[in-house]
Structure 1
Amino acid sequence: MAYTDTAVQETEVLIVGAGPVGLMLANILGMYGRKVVVLEAMDQLIDYPRGVGLDDESFRTIQTVGLVDTVRPHTSPQHIMRLVNGAGKVILTNNPKTDEFGWDRKHSFIQPEVDKALYEGLARFDNVEVHFGHRVENVEEDANGVTAIALVSQDDDTLVERRFRAQYLVGCEGGKSPTRKRMGVSFEGESPSTRWLVVDVNNDPLGTPNVFLGADPKRPYVSIGLPHAVRRWEFMLLDHETEEQVTDPEFVNQMLKDHVPDPASLDYIRRRVFTHHGRIAGTFRKGHQLIAGDAAHLMPVWMGQGWNSGMRDATNLGWKLASVISGQASDSLLDTYTDERSEHAKSMIDLSMTFGSVIKLTNPAAVVARDTASSVLNLFPQVKSYFSDMRFKPMPRYTKGVLVDPSTRTAGTAKGRIISKMIPVLTANNTVSPVGVQFPQYRFNSEAGKNLLLDDVVGNWWTVIVWGNNPKDVLPEASLEKLRGLGAKLVAIVPETQREWAEKYMDEEITVLGDHTGRMKKWFDDRPTPMIFLRPDRFVAGACLNQHGPATLDAILSALKFKDGTGAPADQVPAGVRGSSY
């Protein structure tokens, strides 16, 4: 029997699911001072590994919410992946060494420990609560928000029905998401019939780091060295092999006999069968309910992008919810969440599915063709580096949303190239538009310290960056007033040789950064865009010549659904914003 608690707990955002995506979104909203309640059906966090790959974009978000020091001990950077054929010969190596976003491109990690760090990070915020053992049974939506009804088990086995009221609800409850089902949106894609056995063990009996993808036609496999001496194997199962059969210890030991000298002595964490999925929701938002992470998209494990795609969702959605709830932007801003995230999630699903089909080939002729083609392609340095540097991975590029076309200054859309007959564009080394992509994070010197990462200096909200010039000298007062309403930070980046002079010349409202490595100068030298409007999620909303700054800003405010183009009241800037110049 269920008893109803007549009290209704009020909050601003309800997050259903205390997995990594829900926890990260709660950290972002907590950082911005928003009131959040997280409801989790389970009694505690999941304590076994699931995801194993953490990329540089996700680490940048972890940096933004101030949890790098608690997460890094549970990671291994420069996680190399090698694809080997049935004879054990390496046919492809993936070892990207770029760090344009401030962190190594790939890390392995122990998900339970990182999830725990995200959960414990919420203790910093008085405005965030997490309730375990709360299973959301129903959601009532009206014009002003949602009311969630959760069932809570008591010690005497009775159930109490609790109600929570919020402006928005975000479902982060995984691939079977009840929120997505309540929204009534499609979940299109594939669920291949191929099943896999995943085996995790403690006290890694091999000790070798990194990842081996075994494209063995007899039985494709994966072997992954993880932090804290954890090792994972995955084996493709044959159609006639039942789950009961393959999880039997003797069967697992037989699977591992070619990998480990003594499988029977292993310290097993889990043995579990799973099926890869490639699915995406038709929309990520409907009214006052939204979905993120696996609730919005499922992808095979091959590229290690399931966990990271969820982090991208939280990074994109968090600042938008904060903007709407604070009154700075209208509710329609949330429609850009699907516009911006759906296409890239679909691209990652397609890539993962394709990569998986290459690994799990069992037809002898197809295997020979694959291995032969790989051997030939590896003879060409450009092709080899294409795979080694992971340039085949599609980086997020938003073409519709909170951005402005650099050629036409049209609000809400941005083409991939800058087109103009002006000399600065015609003579540029690179006319690929930086709008809609993530801005690089290099290191700088400033009054705050030496060799600092960009995000640690500029804060966690809107930023206007101007190369070699004072933003106040190239933007009129009307534009500066709008930026005050936005809560934007004004930043001048100069060569390190000019930094001390610029700090004396420019007033205290300008943050001056010295480019002591020359990497930022090279970036600006290649592009005809010395003025950058940087969103809170570090994506470029606008990029232009200085004299196009006012028009670009106005178009950004339009795309943002900014409520007062002449400058919003100070109380409409989300609380917790770090680094505002005003």
Structure 2
Amino acid sequence: MAAAAKHVGINPVEVLQTEVIIVGAGPVGLMLANLLGKFGRKAMVLETLPSLIDYPRGVGLDDESFRTIQAVGLDGQVLPHTNPQHIMRIVNANGTVMLVNNPQTKEFGWDRKHGFIQPEVDRVLYEGLDRFKDISVYFNHTVVDAEEDADGVTAVVNVLEDNGATKTIHVRGQYLVGCEGGKSPTRKRMGVSFDGESPSTRWLVVDVNNDPLGTPNVFLGADPHRPYVSIGLPHAVRRFEFMLHDHESEDQVTDPDFVNELLKDHVPDPSNLDFIRRRVFTHHGRVAGSFRKGRQLIAGDAAHLMPVWLGQGWNSGMRDATNLGWKLATVLAGDADDALLDTYTAERRDHAAAMVELSLTFGKFIKITNPVGAKARDAASKVLNLLPQVKDYFASMKFKPMPRYHTGVLVDPSTQRPGTAAAKITAKLTPFRTANSDVSPVGLQFPQPLVMTDAQGEQKLDDAIGPWWSVVVWGNDPHKVLPEESIQQLKALGASLVCIVPQTQRDFLQAQISDDVTVLGDHTGAVKKWFDDRPTPVVFLRPDKFVAGACLVQHAPATLAGILAAMHRSQQDVHTAYSAR
């Protein structure tokens, strides 16, 4: 993409038009642009820097993010830049392993943890935008102000030209999303709080090529003398991180001799390393009070900053883009009132805050420098490791809070009330009382098992059902579950109709079912088990693959009506939906 050429010849008084102005060509801005392009919308990405950042920052990519990468069709291009099943071991000062984090699940279709090379993955996201004629990226473009009115927002942009001169242009859109990092001018213009803490502890990051160790995983060194991190990454890159003491200045700790001294216990010959960078950074734990104000929104580090301990900064930004992308596309298409965008803060803020708190707590466990406290921690870890349930809790990463939305585009399965969903099913019908679990699936991500399709054979579920809304019915034709009025509402929403049956029934049902229904075979039994454990054989999936509604067959029309209300469909559509209840 010849981004530099895209601003050549622009008249300074000309106003460029788009639908969404994205400020920042980091991973969050690039992913949001990919999602909007995938959904057929228009966007311009405006970046102050002359090019993408070419050094590593984030090093951990999780299964939720990979699912989003899959959703925009770039998983094949990203995979070569990842190490799946990235195991993390926490060791004490003697190198004794205290805890192991090695989750085995592929619940969402991908390994739960991957090491990755961020510059390469960011470049895949950037180059992926070439597919979309209405998505553009402009480097050397700095947004200096934004002016809102009733119909849109105008960004005032300083453009650095090839000859070194600067000119000012305007870019007009319906919405502006700030993805420009922790110092976000967009957030400051919005005037929202940025609550939390910025611990004074500083760390030195050292990235090197031609990994001098070659071990493939992650070690967190809980050494009270100087806590450290050693991470094996793809393409033979290794990252070291060392906690700095208060008296150590930035000039001192980035001096090659000082760095070599830090590395001498980790690398046989520190003087013979191919350094990528040596950089000091401080951990922050902050969350914005709101992610939206009027026509301006924020995502990624602009909305929340978290310590690096659990590798969730990059991934939390991906979750923001995943949540916001389909909502912006829906509003821009005129399929919902822009009150739908208020659900972005309602759904994303609490989980971001929970991840920040967990990361801060985890960091406090690692960076104990008091020798007595460190010995107490090591002793407690040794005892806890003797308990299988506790050991599994850390190994399987069960301490990580999975996103669960309680308010937003949801319908409670017990009451069919729109806009909210309790964590437990409280209905008293026998199917609910006798189910294997009373945990509500609404507000959680639906799993992504492998399924069998008629045309493609074995596929991941998301690839089989498509990127937009879908209604998934176990064992039956959606036309027989929902009245015609509801079917037409689903079609107006662009939803796919899906039936999943045991693989033994697929060919039989395929020959009898309506042409507009996708029939999938459950050849592994994973889908049947999910439905067997829950009294909700009808599931309404949002484009981000979160469950908007889940119910018994006879509750399906009312559940759909609630979903349409919760997503702020037009008054006519909402009235029609409620009349069906």
For residues 206-232 of structure 1, give each alpha carbon's deviation from its aligned partner in whole angstroms, at most 9, with x where no partner exists: 000110000000000000000000000
Q: What SS does the aligned partner of 1:327 have? A: coil
Q: d(CA) in 2 for partners of 1:543 and 1:157? A: 58
Q: d(CA) in 2 for partners of 1:475 and 1:153? A: 57
2:393 aligned residue: 386
For residues 9-68 of structure 1, give each alpha carbon's deviation from its aligned partner in whole angstroms, at most 9, with x where no partner exists: 010000000000000000000011111000000000000000000000000000000001
Q: d(CA) in 1 for partners of 2:359 and 2:532? A: 35
Corresponding pairs, count: 567
Q: d(CA) in 2 for partners of 1:565 and 1:451? A: 41
Q: d(CA) in 1 for partners of 2:162 and 2:502? A: 65
* Identity fraction in percent: 68
Q: d(CA) in 2 for partners of 1:420 and 1:136? A: 52
2:337 aligned residue: 330
For residues 404-463 of structure 1, give each alpha carbon's deviation from its aligned partner in whole angstroms, at most 9, with x where no partner exists: 111011100000010121110111001100000000000111112222100001101000
Identify which of 85, 95, 100 aligns with 1:93: 100
- Give yes or no for contact 2:218–2:230 (8 Å, CA) kept in 1: yes
Identify which of 284, 295, 300 aligns with 1:293: 300
Q: d(CA) in 2 for partners of 1:150 and 1:446? A: 49
CA drift of 1:563 comes to: 1.5
Alignment-mate amino acid for residue 47 of structure 1: D
Alignment-mate amino acid for residue 309 of structure 1: S
User: Equivalent residues in 2 for 1:222-371 (5 A)?
Assistant: 222-371=229-378
Q: TM-score, with normalisation over the residues of structure 1?
A: 0.96
Q: d(CA) in 1 for partners of 2:212 and 2:80? A: 21
Q: d(CA) in 1 for partners of 2:162 and 2:29? A: 27
1:45 aligned residue: 52
2:184 aligned residue: 177
- Give yes or no for contact 1:485–1:567 (8 Å, CA) kept in 2: no
1:219 aligned residue: 226
Alignment-mate amino acid for residue 348 of structure 2: R
Alignment-mate amino acid for residue 134 of structure 1: H
CA drift of 1:156 comes to: 3.2
Q: d(CA) in 2 for partners of 1:107 and 1:96? A: 11
1:427 aligned residue: 434
- Name stretches of at least 5 consecutive residues in structure 1 with no aligned partner: 569-582
1:443 aligned residue: 450
1:71 aligned residue: 78
Residues 1:17 and 2:24 aligned together: yes
For residues 270-289 of structure 1, give each alpha carbon's deviation from its aligned partner in whole angstroms, at most 9, with x where no partner exists: 00000000000000000000
Query: Relative to structure 2, which stretch is displaced further, 196-205 or 152-161?
Result: 152-161
Q: d(CA) in 1 for partners of 2:544 and 2:489? A: 20
1:468 aligned residue: 475
1:529 aligned residue: 536
Alignment-mate amino acid for residue 302 of structure 2: A
CA drift of 1:119 comes to: 0.0
User: Equivalent residues in 2 for 1:103-182 (5 A)?
Assistant: 103-182=110-189
Q: What SS does the aligned partner of 1:264 have? A: helix
CA drift of 1:550 comes to: 0.3
CA drift of 1:566 comes to: 4.4
Q: What SS does the aligned partner of 2:157 have? A: strand
CA RMSD of aligned residues (A): 1.2
Runs of 4+ off more than 3 Å: 564-568
Q: TM-score, with normalisation over the residues of structure 2?
A: 0.97
Seen in structure 2, the aligned counterparts of structure 1 residues 565 and 62 have a Cα distance that, compared at 3 Å, is: farther
Q: d(CA) in 1 for partners of 2:217 and 2:572? A: 51
CA drift of 1:364 comes to: 1.5
